[in-house]
């Protein structure tokens, strides 16, 4: 019997849809379909110009359904409709068009003339690539991974989060309408605990690209070890922001609000630790709290909403547990810290924007990823102290620096142990440049030429060019 799952709207805790859950047979079909499509189908063998046309059709299809996709993304994740409309959906379309328009450049062969030989360096697709995406940016991260994997010539199996599969299923329709060959894209809805091992351990899978929690990432590493394969792991973060005394205070406050409360703080790049130079700390924290209290909570589909609900009751419970532990360890709640009591929010998974003071580096909340709207704001007196605090984490994904002295800010950025550092801004992702972290934040890159090439394998073809004689190996044994 086919098992079904209800998909909830976190703004209301009401069912949005009921969809089939994939089982073992479905997994087997998806892997086999993708394997056959790569080994025997036309996709890896198409000219780059033909591949480009298909990717552009997908981009155009996303834009043609932009309003519908934005509405679905908001209903399924709870994020404000303006974020889905102006950020997630257009960015998804741009990712497909970018890699369509650059795949010929990125895949250009290299010829090297060597001593008595010629080296032909070529990029090839890995083969079957499993793409596992999280619930916080289900359409955008799926598009990041899929656009690069397809542009490189791979066939793919997309596994969206079991909480947020709706836009992935709409993307499947767009891809079907674009006319991609059968088996090139397979999208499976199922519980990670049930299908993760089947997907990741199978020897017919050549590569896994995962974005999600460290806990699940470690499980995938174990599954993949059963049959060695290429991995990209984009895991958690405990990112830090450094606000210097010479910063534009208004920009720093507003930018810092965005860096932790955007998408309800459910971002691996969330600046959950904010370090402010002591000369401006009092003014910064007063403005930050005043503005945090003004953030309008509401249903995601309300255009006046500035912050929606958390993804689930389970996630809200996790945030509350982190707060209770922080308070027990001595942290002070400066604002927020509770479930709102407004009657129109009572059924959803809402939680107030929260600011903590008195947080020390020894506290659990300083070290662990909360993945919710909780900012820890601290003061510092010396820049080197701030750098040390920022780097005092097992994660190394992102950071921000706020200062009018760009030269000094760039010098500080080089000392921050993170894969991406923003100066006087936050959350600017570009298809042209890579993104990814260090340490427990994972390995590998997404986006840019470097991210694209992660989805390829590098082959070196060497031809003998000895002039007027046979190569040395011909005489090695003297026969």
Whole-number pLDDT of residue 259: 98
Question: Cβ contacts of residue 215 below 8 Å, gap of 6+?
Answer: none
Tell me the mean pLDDT in the region 91-114: 97
Whole-number pLDDT of residue 416: 98
Find tokens 């399924």 and name the residue.
Answer: 76
pLDDT of 469 > 80? The answer is no
3-state helix, strand, coil in the chain (%, to 5): 45, 20, 35
Whole-number pLDDT of residue 468: 80
Asked if residue 174 lies in contact with residue 158, where contact means CB atoms within 8 angstroms, the answer is no
Tell me the mean pLDDT in the region 396-425: 98
Closest CA to 358 of 372, 378, 338, 335: 378
Tens digits of residue pLDDT in 132-165: 999 999 999 999 999 999 999 999 999 999 999 9
Q: How far is CA 423 from CA 117, 283, 401, 412, in A?
A: 47, 21, 5, 10
Both tokens of 360, joined, read: 């020390």
Active site residue 376: no
Tell me the mean pLDDT in the region 432-458: 98
**Reported confidence tier of residue 1, pLDDT bands at 50, 70, 90:** low
Cα 189 from Cα 174, distance rounded (Å): 17
Active site residue 234: yes
Which one of the listed residues 73, 83, 170, 268 is annotated catalytic? 268
Tens digits of residue pLDDT in 256-310: 999 999 999 999 999 999 999 999 999 999 999 999 999 999 999 999 999 999 9
Asked if residue 120 lies in contact with residue 109, where contact means CB atoms within 8 angstroms, the answer is yes
Cα 311 from Cα 13, distance rounded (Å): 10
Tens digits of residue pLDDT in 182-209: 999 999 998 888 888 899 999 999 999 9
pLDDT of 354 > 70? The answer is yes
Closest CA to 139 of 56, 196, 231, 70: 70
Which one of the listed residues 234, 277, 352, 446 is annotated catalytic? 234
**Range with lowest mean pLDDT among 1-5, 328-332, 396-400, 426-430:** 1-5
Q: Is the pTM of this model over 0.95?
A: yes
Q: How far is CA 226 from CA 102, 167, 197, 209, 443, in A?
A: 35, 32, 10, 16, 19
**Reported confidence tier of residue 99, pLDDT bands at 50, 70, 90:** very high
Cα 372 from Cα 360, distance rounded (Å): 19
Whole-number pLDDT of residue 422: 98
Tens digits of residue pLDDT in 31-74: 999 999 999 999 999 999 999 999 999 999 999 999 999 999 99
Tens digits of residue pLDDT in 206-232: 999 999 999 999 999 999 999 999 999
The percent of residues above 70 in pLDDT, for the chain, comes to 100
List b or e across 373-392, with b for residues whose CB sees 16 or more CB atoms inside 10 angstroms: bbbbbbbbeebeebbebbee
Whole-number pLDDT of residue 414: 98
Q: Is 470 exposed, middle or buried (0-12, 13-18, 19+ CB in 10 A)?
A: exposed
pLDDT of 15 > 80? The answer is yes
At residue 282, φ and ψ (nearest 5 deg) are -60, -45
What domains does the chain contain, in order, with CATH numbers?
4-235+441-462 (3.40.605.10), 240-423 (3.40.309.10)
């Amino acid at each position: 019997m086919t098992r079904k799952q209800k998909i909830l709207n976190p703004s209301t805790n009401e069912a949005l849809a009921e969809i089939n859950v994939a089982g073992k047979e479905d997994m087997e079909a998806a892997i086999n379909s993708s394997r056959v499509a790569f080994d025997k189908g036309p996709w890896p063998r198409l000219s780059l110009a033909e591949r480009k046309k298909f990717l552009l059709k997908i981009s155009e299809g996303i834009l043609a359904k932009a309003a519908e996709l934005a509405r679905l993304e908001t209903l399924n994740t709870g994020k404000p409709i303006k974020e889905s409309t102006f950020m997630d959906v257009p960015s998804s379309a741009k990712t497909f068009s970018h890699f369509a328009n650059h795949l010929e450049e990125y895949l250009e062969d290299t010829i090297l003339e060597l001593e008595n030989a010629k080296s032909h360096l070529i990029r090839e697709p890995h083969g079957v690539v499993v793409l596992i995406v999280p619930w916080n940016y289900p359409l955008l991260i799926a598009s990041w991974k899929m656009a690069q994997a397809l542009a490189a010539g791979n066939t793919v199996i997309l596994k969206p989060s079991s909480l947020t599969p709706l836009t992935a299923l709409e993307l499947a329709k767009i891809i079907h309408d674009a006319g991609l060959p059968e088996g090139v894209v397979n999208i499976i809805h199922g519980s990670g605990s049930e299908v993760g091992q089947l997907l990741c351990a199978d020897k017919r899978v050549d590569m896994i690209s995962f974005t999600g929690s460290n806990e699940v990432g470690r499980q995938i590493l174990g599954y993949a070890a059963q049959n060695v394969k290429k991995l990209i792991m984009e895991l958690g973060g405990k990112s830090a922001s450094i606000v210097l005394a010479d910063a534009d205070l208004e920009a720093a406050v507003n930018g810092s609000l965005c860096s932790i409360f955007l998408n309800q703080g459910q971002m691996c790049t969330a600046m959950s630790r904010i370090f402010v130079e002591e000369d401006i700390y009092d003014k910064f924290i007063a403005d930050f709290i005043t503005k945090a209290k003004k953030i309008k909570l509401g249903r995601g589909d309300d255009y006046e909403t500035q912050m929606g609900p958390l993804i689930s009751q389970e996630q809200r419970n996790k945030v509350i547990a982190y707060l209770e532990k922080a308070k027990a360890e001595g942290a002070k709640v400066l604002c927020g810290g509770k479930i709102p009591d407004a009657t129109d929010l009572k059924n959803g998974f809402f939680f107030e924007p929260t600011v903590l003071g008195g947080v020390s580096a020894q506290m659990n909340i300083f070290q662990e990823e909360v993945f919710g709207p909780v900012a820890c704001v601290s003061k510092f007196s010396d820049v080197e102290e701030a750098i040390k605090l920022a780097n005092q984490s097992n994660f190394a994904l992102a950071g921000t620096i706020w200062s009018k002295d760009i030269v000094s800010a760039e010098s500080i950025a080089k000392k921050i142990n993170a894969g991406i550092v923003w100066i006087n801004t936050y959350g600017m992702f570009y298809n042209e440049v890579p993104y990814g972290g260090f340490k427990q934040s994972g390995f590998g890159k997404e986006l840019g030429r470097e991210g694209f090439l992660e989805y390829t394998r590098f082959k070196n073809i060497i031809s003998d060019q000895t002039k007027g004689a046979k190569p040395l190996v011909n005489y090695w044994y003297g026969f």
